[in-house]
Amino acid sequence: MNEEPDPAEEQHLVRLAKSWAEAIVSDDPVRIAEFMADEWVIVSASGIDPREKFLSLVASGALTHSAMDLRTQPRVRIHGDTALVTGRVTNTAHYRGERHDADEWTTDVFVRRQGRWLCVLSHITPAAPD
């Protein structure tokens, strides 16, 4: 059964994704955690890392971000209480003092709980050069 897209809800999710990117650049683990469900994980070339590891790296200062920019308008698809937000993102991270510039396709999976959208999974894939 296909639902008609809700443009207002799609725009809300686009704003949410932008706000989350701003939170990540703030390097504030409390602010970042507000966007995540307890079971959130990130999937990358190095495997699957849980919320606790990501937030502890930010809290310790071992992981910081100085830039996170959406390069494309995010593609939003809502399926009931689950939403997929996909877009191209460039970011600059510093991990244990070493700078890492990335150009990636990201997909965030959000679930609606008690009227709020929370991310349960983030998947990142390196983007091919233009």
Q: What is the pLDDT of residues 31-47, one digit of tens each?
A: 999 999 999 999 999 99
Across the range 64-69, mean pLDDT stands at 96
How far is the C-alpha of 46 from the C-alpha of 18, rounded, in Å?
A: 25
Average pLDDT across the chain, whole number: 95
Which of the pair, 54 or 5, is modelled with greater confidence?
A: 54
Residue 43 identity: V
Tokens of 55: 């937030």
Q: Tell me: the pLDDT tens digits for 74-119?
A: 999 999 999 999 999 999 999 999 999 999 999 999 999 999 999 9
**Does residue 36 or residue 4 have the better pLDDT?**
36
Rounded to whole angstroms, the maximal C-alpha distance in the chain is 50
Confidence of residue 72 (pLDDT cuts 50, 70, 90): very high
- Asked if 105 and 127 count as a contact pair (C-beta separation under 8 A), the reply is yes
**Residue bearing the bigger pLDDT, 63 or 129:** 63
Burial class (CB within 10 angstroms; exposed 0-12, middle 13-18, buried 19+) of 70? middle
- pLDDT-derived band at 5 (thresholds 50, 70, 90) equals confident
Q: Which residues contact 56 (CB under 8 A, 6 or more apart)?
A: 29
Nearest-angstrom CA–CA distance, 77 and 108: 11
pLDDT at 1: 46
Q: Enumerate residues 6+ apart whose C-beta is below 8 A from 66.
A: 25, 92, 93, 94
Q: How many CB atoms lie within 10 A of CB 73?
A: 9
Please check the confidence at residue 3 and state whether its pLDDT lies above 70. Answer: no
- Beta-carbon count within 10 A of 36 CB: 21
Q: Which domains does the chain have, with CATH numbers?
A: 7-126 (3.10.450.50)
> Is the model's pLDDT at 15 over the cut of 60?
yes
